[in-house]
Amino acid sequence: MAGMTRQFIGTIAIWAILLSAAGQSPAPAGQPWTTKLRLQAEDRVAAKLDAMRAAAGLPKLRRVQPSVAEAQLVCTAARTEKPVHDPAFGGLETYVTRDLSAETEPLRIIAFGTSEDAQGGSRYRVYSDKDWPRYSVVVELNRNSTSDSSLYTVGVARRQSTLMEFLGRSTFDSPHQDSTDWRTQVDPACRTERP
pLDDT value at position 128? 84
pLDDT value at position 8? 40
pLDDT value at position 19? 35
Locate all alpha helices (DSSP H) within the chain, ordered by sequence: 2-24, 35-55, 68-80, 105-112, 162-170, 175-180
Task: Tell me if 152 sits within 8 A of 140, measured CB to CB.
Answer: yes
Show contacts of 142-145: CB within 8 Å, 24+ apart. 142/78, 142/81, 142/96, 143/78, 143/79, 143/80, 143/81, 144/81, 144/96, 145/27, 145/29
Instruction: Compute the distance between CA of residue 69 and CA of residue 67 in angstroms, rounded to an integer.
Output: 5
pLDDT value at position 45? 98
Q: What is the pLDDT of residues 167-176, one digit of tens each?
A: 555 554 444 4
pLDDT value at position 70? 92
Q: Return the SS3 of 111.
A: helix
Cβ neighbours of 46 (radius 10 Å): 18
Q: What residues in the chain have per-residue pLDDT under 70?
A: 1-30, 87-90, 117-121, 162-180
